[in-house]
C-alpha cells in the first residue's frame, strides 16, 4: 500500500488524504500472487464494480436486481470453495518460495581439522564495506557440534568464542 501511495504522490506529499481512497480501492481489487484472488472477492465472493460503472449506467448496473439475481446467491453458496482454493494456492506459493530461498542456503559440511575463513560481517558488522575483505582467518575446525554448527580454533591453538554456523564459514585453500 505504501508503494501505491508513493507512486501516486511523486511531487506533492501533502495530497495523500485525497489519494488514499483510490490507493485502497486498487489494493483491495488487485489479485494477490499468493491466492490468485482479490481481497474483495474473498470477502464478498464477487468482483468489485469499477467506479466508472457506478457513475455511468452500464449493462451490469442497469440489469442488476438483488432479489432476482440467482448468480449472486450461487456465488455466496460457493464462497467457502473459493476460499479453500485460495488457501491451497497460497500454500503452493509458500512452498515454492521456501524452495527458492532454501536453494541459496545450503549448509556446508566441514570436518574436524579443516581450515576455514569466517565472514567478517558475522564477527564484526562495523568493519564491512565494498572494498573490505569478506573473510578473516584462517581458523581450524575444533569440533562439529551438530551438522552446520562448529567450534573454531585460532591458528595458535586458542579457542574462538561462540559457535559458528556453516553458512558463515568458507573453506580456506592454501
Boundary-marking domain end, from 46, 80, 104: 104
CA distance 17 to 8: 11
100 and 35 in one domain? yes
Residue where one domain finishes, among candidates 72, 104, 136 = 104
The number of domains in the chain is: 2
Q: Which of 104, 124, 150 is the last residue of a domain?
A: 104
pLDDT at 40: 80
pLDDT at 29: 79
On whether the pTM is more than 0.85, the answer is no
User: What is the pLDDT at residue 158?
Assistant: 92
Provide the CATH number for the domain around residue 120.
2.30.30
Is 8 a domain residue? no
Name beta bridge partners: 152.
Answer: 141
Per-residue pLDDT of the chain (174 residues; tens, 9 = 90+): 666 667 766 666 677 677 777 777 777 778 887 888 888 877 777 777 766 666 666 666 666 666 556 666 666 667 788 888 888 999 999 999 888 887 766 677 899 999 999 988 877 777 777 777 888 889 999 999 988 899 999 999 999 888 988 888 989 988
94 and 143 belong to one structural domain? no
Res 137: pLDDT: 83
User: What domain range includes position 59?
Assistant: 31-104
Tell me the CA end-to-end span of the chain in Å, nearest whole number.
Answer: 52
157 and 93 co-located in one domain: no
For the beta carbon of residue 20, count every other beta carbon within 10 angstroms: 15
Q: Give the H/E segment covering residue 165.
A: strand 164-165
Amino acid at each position: 500500500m505504501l508503494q501505491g501511495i508513493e507512486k501516486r504522490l511523486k511531487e506533492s506529499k501533502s495530497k495523500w488524504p485525497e489519494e488514499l481512497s483510490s490507493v485502497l480501492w486498487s489494493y483491495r481489487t488487485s489479485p494477490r500472487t499468493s491466492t490468485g484472488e482479490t481481497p474483495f472477492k474473498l470477502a464478498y465472493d464477487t468482483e468489485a464494480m469499477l467506479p466508472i460503472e457506478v457513475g455511468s449506467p452500464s449493462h451490469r448496473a442497469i440489469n442488476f436486481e438483488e432479489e432476482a439475481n440467482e448468480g449472486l446467491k450461487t456465488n455466496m453458496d460457493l464462497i467457502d470453495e473459493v476460499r479453500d482454493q485460495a488457501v491451497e494456492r497460497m500454500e503452493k506459493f509458500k512452498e515454492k518460495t521456501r524452495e527458492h530461498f532454501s536453494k541459496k542456503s545450503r549448509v556446508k559440511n566441514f570436518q574436524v581439522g579443516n581450515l576455514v575463513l569466517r565472514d567478517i560481517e558475522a564477527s564484526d558488522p562495523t568493519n564491512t564495506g565494498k572494498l573490505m575483505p569478506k573473510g578473516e582467518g584462517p581458523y581450524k575446525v575444533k569440533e562439529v557440534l551438530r551438522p552446520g554448527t562448529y567450534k573454531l580454533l585460532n591458528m595458535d591453538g586458542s579457542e574462538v568464542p561462540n559457535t559458528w554456523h556453516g553458512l558463515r564459514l568458507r573453506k580456506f585453500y592454501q
